[in-house]
Structure 1
Amino acid sequence: MVRDRRPSPQTAAVLTALAASGEDWSHGYDLCRDLGLKAGTVYPILIRLTERGLVETSWETDPPRGRPARHLYRLSTAGAEFARTVAATARTGQSAPAPGAARLAPRTT
């Protein structure tokens, strides 16, 4: 059985912020600051979204001198589609489908 659960408000906020960035990369710290959420909230969300194929990650290739490279995040194609679905269902008040629900459905053999 597949759970059809709406993303948490924090997850929806992260998706919306990444969608607003388009194809540009975002830093986790900037997301925390812009959304007013703590790192202990944002980074686990980013990890879950990455594991589900909704977010792409990369390392910063040319960090400023004296600072280590940071992780960068942006929505994948599937993530952008899911973010649009979440935004649309938020406007209508319906429940958003679980990300990858079709992929997680039990197989019948």
Structure 2
Amino acid sequence: MVARLTIPTRLVLSVLLAEPETELYGLEVAERSGLPTGTLHPILARLEGLGWATSRWEEVDAAVVGRPRRRYYRLTATGRREAQRRLSDARPVPGLRGASLTTRTALS
């Protein structure tokens, strides 16, 4: 069980919860949350370890598409329930009153 949700974790959960049935690849989550990938990927790994998220590797040949394969993430049913509960219970973030946690400008 997660003792508390950090602001970056709340941002990631908000992004994934915004489109719960859609798989998003890591860079999409990074861009939507405003988090650097070095912060994002450990959070996604933790969410997977908790059973809150699942991931899968894209089935393409990187040489053919001209880019690395993408790893797609989405919340599990448990992850959606926990994210909704935890985000609704979370204390407001100082400086973010009235701002959406899913926008890059929320951290400015």
Question: What 5-or-longer segments of structure 1 have no aligned partner?
Answer: 95-109
CA distance in 2, matches of 1:25, 1:40: 20
Identity between Structure 1 and Structure 2 (%):
33
**Closer, same or farther in 2 for the Cα pair 1:30/1:88, shift >3 Å?**
same
| Corresponding position of 1:13 | 11
Which of the two has higher C-alpha Rg?
1
CA distance in 2, matches of 1:80, 1:53: 11
Question: What 5-or-longer segments of structure 2 have no aligned partner?
Answer: 93-108
CA distance in 2, matches of 1:41, 1:82: 21
Q: Secondary structure at the match of 1:32?
A: helix
Letter in 2 for 1:83: A
Cα RMSD after superposing both structures: 2.0
Name segments (4+ residues, structure 1) moved above 3 Å: none
| Corresponding position of 1:70 | 70
Normalised by the size of structure 1, how large is the TM-score?
0.74
| Corresponding position of 2:97 | none
CA distance in 2, matches of 1:20, 1:69: 24
Question: How far off is 1:44 after superposition?
Answer: 0.3
Normalised by the size of structure 2, how large is the TM-score?
0.74
